[in-house]
Chains A and B, each alone.
Chain A
Amino acid sequence: MSNDPPALPTDARGLALGDRGLYMLLLYGVSVGFALVISAGLVAVTGHAWGSVAGALADGAFLAPGRWGQTLAVATPILLVALGMVVGVRAGFFNIGQEGQLLMGALAMALMGTRLTGPGPFLLVGGLAAGAVAGGVYAGVAAVMRFRRGVPEVISTLLLVFVAFQIVGFAITTDWFLRDLDPNRPSQAVTSAALPGSVRLPVMTVWGNEVTIGFLLALLVAGLAAFVLARTVFGFKLRLLGSNPKVAQQAGVSFGRAGATALFISGAAAGLAGALMLAAGASSARLTAGFSNEIGWQGLLVALVARNRPLLCIPVAVLFAALRTGSGFLAATGVDRTVVDVVQALLVLALLVPPAVEFIRDRRRVSIAAQATEPA
């Protein structure tokens, strides 16, 4: 048995492209359709009309006044988290602790914004930077565990999420840390103090919708990520590491250094997302126990759906944000808003199927070709 795997018949791939494109389109259509039918069935089984649910989702996401600005505001942190995930996965590392890294970023922003005094813009930019660093360092813990001790980052990053929740819980219940000590604070719930107005992101009003410049920043990061991954040596190193670690190491890419950088970047993106959320006024610009609100998970799913292409993350992030903001309008239909979580996960699962089927077809073609050329 030779050591080299048989090469893929690339010319055959190119020739059959027309048929293949149609076939893949059909496969994607069937998969997504299947996911939607299951979702509709779930709504129907619990005794509701799926048509009115879809209508409520569309109203809540885009059609009702001021809602698409809201959708873009939710899409911003989701997109950032997804971009970080993309960088990590392209290099072959699964950071699934974005929820925690996002909290750390928001914590850093809250510290900068409420505990330091200085000119607003300075604190804002400093807070965003601190948020990114905090998220990156938090993911760095998992990187150290992975590259020094071989602990799989899939496990350590997730466990760190639960620790992050407790760190935030500690911060907002401790007087010297972040707890709001103002006796006139609005609610009895323990939170941090609100970010002062000068440290918030500027808001533009476009056609009656409030749009923060955070979304523009996220678009910029998406472009940057696409460029770095596709067009720079650093991006090439990461992709090489992700597609074949052995070859990458033989070509002089340091597994530990490049991998740790990838994990740091993925955490930093999540941290930046958290800091941006706070600066854009999420949960009244106060750090609360449930501040992350599953945005980290959403971003992770977006990256999976976008098949790790940074620019594709943009529409998918908006779609997922739309499902979330749309779910706010579901109360009128009597369907629990968590139905959206099911729809999202089913979509992700459905979109995993076509490429996998394609891979198997490719393999089968290769083995048939191999049998034809060298009969055993």
Chain B
Amino acid sequence: MSDVLGALGDVFTSPAMYGSAVRLGVFLAFAALGELVAEKAGTINISVEGSLLAGALGGTVAFDLSGSTVLGLAAGAVAGVSVAMLAANMSHRLTADQFVVGITVNVLVLGLAGFLDATVSPLGGRAGVVTVPFLSEIPVIGPALFSQTWPTYLLYGLVPLTWWILYRTRWGLEVRSAGENPQAADVSGVDVNRRRRQAIYYGGSLAGLGGAFLILGQVGSFDVGVVGGRGFIAIAAVYFGGWTLRGTLVGALLFGMADAFRLAVPVLGYQVNAQLLAALPYLLTLVVMYFITKRFVQPAALARPFVRGLR
């Protein structure tokens, strides 16, 4: 037992562990922030997984063609929002079931990514590390938070931006009302399905950015399995956060830490069952979901389609 505790102590005091926890957490946070907005509008946007993968591929291809990380990230966001547009219009203009649409779109993106990766084989690359002076000298968390590849810092801007949009603009209010009481929103002149579509676009663009970040800010090369269900973990992070911005970020960081833990343990020389480690992020997510889902009040119309005159 003391061995286990000592090992855990070693892992949790290793600066490398926190560095990679932040990287993986930031990746999840991009997707989770966008997903939060979509869920506030009343959609469990499963297609976030597809947006992440499309962003990863789009970012890699654009980087390969142009050699520019900025263009890569932009292309990732565009790819992510394209997937979101497909899903949003199918489910909130044509009123097909949002889960059916999400699953199908994910399968489509997976197929396309496999096909394009095999046909084009784009080369990825990693953005340079930028160390923020002074802040990065804070012990333990300093290097983890402020000595990262530069796209990481985009998130630090997107968090307050998302908060401001969601809680301080008219659009944000309408989005939230579409998720809480679509009938009332409709009566007061809000185009509910339009707001829901736009919220999904916002989510898709952030997820696409996150996907591009995963390749260009972290992994360095594309692979079809690179996202591997992390979109669903991002959804779980939103649940974990009880549909608050703060909580969602904590959730993303927590699940990112589980991912980092999995990577750090073998590096530090500890022998732990490889399969157990690989399953850990998913198991942790499941366990956390089990204990936390009932704690919070979800947006009242979450996952309920809105059709005027039907309830």
Q: Which residues of A contact B (CB under 8 A)?
A: 5-6, 42, 46, 94, 96, 145, 149-152, 154-156, 158-163, 166-167, 169-170, 173, 297, 300-301, 304, 336, 338-342, 344-346, 348-349, 352-353, 355-357, 359-360, 363, 366-367, 370
Contact = CB atoms under 8 A, between A and B. Distances in A.
Interface of B: 44, 46, 86, 90, 94-96, 99-105, 107-108, 110-112, 114-115, 118-119, 228-229, 232-233, 235-236, 239, 273-276, 278-279, 282-283, 285-286, 289-291, 293-294, 303, 307-311
Nearest to B273: A170
B53 to A, nearest CB: 13
A342 B111 contact: yes
A345 B107 contact: yes
16 contacts: A145-B286, A149-B293, A151-B290, A152-B44, A152-B303, A154-B46, A154-B102, A161-B229, A162-B279, A166-B279, A304-B100, A341-B107, A349-B108, A359-B95, A363-B310, A367-B308
Contacts of B307: 363
Contacts of B119: 46, 336
B261 to A, nearest CB: 15
Among B104, B114, B235, B310, chain A packs the most CB atoms within 10 A around the CB of B104
Given A163-B282, A342-B112, A367-B309, A349 B104 contact: yes
Contacts of A367: 308-309
Given A152-B303, A363-B307, A159 B282 contact: yes
B311 A5 contact: yes
A338 B282 CA distance: 27
Contacts of A304: 100, 103-104
A366 B309 contact: yes
Contact of B294 (A150, A155, A336, A339): A150
B39 to A, nearest CB: 11
Contacts of B308: 363, 367
B228 A301 contact: no
Contact of A162 (B90, B229, B273, B293): B229
Among A94, A345, A370, chain B packs the most CB atoms within 10 A around the CB of A345
A158 B283 CA distance: 12
Nearest to B110: A341
A300 B279 CA distance: 24
A169 B104 contact: no
B115 A344 contact: no
